[in-house]
Amino acid sequence: MNPRRLIPLMLLALAACQPAAPEQNAAAPLAGARIGGPFSLTDQNGRTVTERSFPGSYRLMYFGYTFCPDVCPTDVASIAAGLKQVEASDPTLAAKVVPIFVTVDPERDTPAVLKQFTAAFHPRLVGLTGSRDAIEAAKKAYAIYAAKGAAQPGGGYLVDHSRQTYLMDPDNRPIALVPQDKGADAVAEAIRQWVK
């Protein structure tokens, strides 16, 4: 074969090996998903909070409980640290995001307990609790599983629950899952990617 004919074929093969450029206007992964909806809960200061309490803001929604021995504190620390990274590099962008912790254990997670918990992670972290029925309605709206476990030796109990963080847009529509289990950098990257 003529070497001059090989050059275009080689260039074509090399071009095929290059990674595709990311789409600038990629659709949100959770666009159109039936996640989110109305809720009426109580924050750590005793005020009633609904899905309309954060006009114009994106929300990082995480469901857990303050008595969790390991997973919830680790996840919330990653969410807070990721948001702090964005605050340091782009305060205007970070100001558009409200981190929210919704308890799945309202019997123990009173506003006073949530106030102490949220203060340990981020000054803007909102903690939400409510009646068992109100929490069940919020869990259903956000497709969250949670079940109280058996009593532990010495008293107390654990709560088995799903572990995801939703990024919701200002109209309370789901955008994407935020990989808080991958650490602060992954949280910051998701915020930068999807918050406009």
Q: Comparing C-alpha atoms, which of 67, 188, 50 is closest to residue 117? A: 67
The boundaries of the domain holding residue 75 are: 33-194
Identify the pLDDT of residue 59: 98
Task: Classify each residue of 145-163 as buried b or exposed e, where b means 16 or more C-beta atoms within 10 Å of its C-beta.
Answer: ebeeeeeeeeeeebbebee
9 found inside a domain: no
CATH number at residue 172: 3.40.30.10
Q: What is the pTM of this model?
A: 0.85
178 found inside a domain: yes
Q: Comparing C-alpha atoms, which of 52, 28, 57, 58 is closest to residue 40? A: 52
CA–CA separation, 168 and 60 (whole Å): 6
Identify the pLDDT of residue 151: 87
170 found inside a domain: yes
CA angle (177 as vertex; 112, 124 as ends), nearest 5:
30
- List the chain pLDDT tens, one digit each, 196 residues: 444 444 444 444 444 444 343 344 478 999 999 999 999 999 999 999 999 999 999 999 999 999 999 999 999 999 999 999 999 999 999 999 999 999 999 999 999 999 999 999 999 999 999 999 999 999 999 999 999 998 888 889 999 999 999 999 999 999 999 999 999 999 999 999 999 9
Identify the pLDDT of residue 153: 85
15 found inside a domain: no
50 found inside a domain: yes
The pair phi, psi for residue 59, each rounded to 5°, is -130, 135
Q: Are 43 and 126 in contact (CB under 8 A)?
A: yes
Q: Comparing C-alpha atoms, which of 34, 26, 27 is closest to residue 174? A: 34
53 found inside a domain: yes
Which residues sit in the known binding site?
68, 72, 161
Q: Which residues lie closer than 8 Å to 159 by C-beta, 6 or more apart?
A: 65, 67, 68, 104, 105, 146, 147, 148, 149
Which residues sit in the known binding site for Cu cation?
68, 72, 161
64 found inside a domain: yes
Structural domain total, the chain:
1
65 found inside a domain: yes
Q: CA-CA distances (angstroms) from residue 77 to 13, 48, 54, 73, 121?
A: 45, 25, 22, 6, 6
